[in-house]
Amino acid sequence: MSDGDFAPTETASTDTSALANEAEAFRGTFSKVRDEVARVMVGQADVIDGVLVALFCGGNVLLEGVPGLGKTELVKALSRVLDLEFRRVQFTPDLMPADIIGTTVMAADDHGRYQLEFKPGPIFTQLLLADEINRASPKTQSALLETMQEGSVTTGGTVHILEQPFFVMATQNPLEQEGTYPLPEAQLDRFLFKVNVPFPNRHELNDIVTRTILKEPINLDKILDGHKIVELRKTLDKMVVTESVRDFAVRLVMSTHPDTPDAADEVKQYVRWGASPRAAQGLIKAARVRALADGRVHVAVDDIRHFAVPVLQHRVLLNYDGQAEEVSVAKLVQDASKALSAEPTYAV
């Protein structure tokens, strides 16, 4: 056998070794960022992980929780640790699309001649906090659709490309619904995760109150910047996703549709429409980040299962019976994920 016959094996071994080194570097960086942000956020480890996973794989996050749980502090901490520009928009019923995107105004140049000039709105940033997003009208909410999907803003026939990384973290209050507008399905589908922010326990609440009384400033270290985040995202594309794992993600999404073979009886009874193809893409992206954060170069079925609820729960629509009986979509998804076999039980 000639030396050339061994070349592919040697190259494959070298590539695997290089990817393993990248995975270890990613794991260390992810851990440092998580620990640094956790210095500001008391508890909420799952929330921090969810936001970081979405940020690293280029997704957006919808946080649902009552006021005062530190959602604004979380995104502020991220902006400092990651050295990214941060802006906050308080969504209100009278907020207009131009208040977010920007507007074209008549401005005079150095020679006194007037011309149209575009004045960018707060969306031209890197970390955007859309606070209480469901308080704005659907027309205003739709101003974010293009930006969240394409990373661009089109106004006056001109396309403006936003600086990467660009990340939207929106919040909504699950209790107070007066004067709110439900987010349309197209808007919800552009959030990679919907994360529920729990109320702190007794120990955590004591810690929060103590910090408030002492008012000790916390100086956060910068771990990354925008350029390094974009570079780290390239590692995700090198991750190994086997056909069986990819098919599990697809079957998990299909199991949320009541007319498919993998759908459980509860799904057939209470669900009107299941998750979109973006959900399957989101499951793979998030699972890649989780594997890398664990120092692994391959994605496992457990990585897919881990993100089933945050990726799917806001994309599944209940029918009339499901709404009337106040069925928990999160529980439906969780049960479907647990019941789904890692190997398909039927041919495609």
Q: What is the per-residue pLDDT for 13?
A: 47
Determine the pLDDT at residue 21: 85
**15-92+126-236 and 239-343 have identical folds:** no
SS3 state at 180: coil
Neighbours of 108 (CB within 10 A): 10
φ, ψ (nearest 5 deg) of residue 278? -60, -30
pLDDT for position 7: 43
Q: Domain 239-343, CATH 1.10.8.80 — does that match? A: yes
Reduced to 3 states, what is the DSSP secondary structure of residue 59?
coil
- Round to whole Å and give the CA distance between 285 and 212: 37
pLDDT digit of tens for each residue in the chain (348 aa)?
444 443 444 444 457 788 888 888 888 899 999 999 988 887 788 899 999 999 999 899 999 888 777 788 888 889 899 988 999 999 988 889 888 888 877 777 777 777 777 888 889 999 999 998 888 888 888 888 888 888 888 887 788 888 888 999 999 887 766 767 888 888 889 999 999 888 888 888 888 888 777 777 778 888 988 889 988 888 888 888 899 999 999 999 999 999 998 888 899 999 999 999 999 999 999 999 999 998 888 899 999 999 999 999 999 999 999 999 999 999 999 998 888 877 766 555
**pLDDT value for 346:** 56
Q: Check: CB of residue 300 under 8 Å from CB of residue 283.
A: no
In CATH, the number for domain 15-92+126-236 is: 3.40.50.300
C-alpha distances (whole Å) from 291 to each of 288, 298, 305 are 5, 7, 12
Q: What are the boundaries of each domain within the chain? A: 15-92+126-236, 239-343
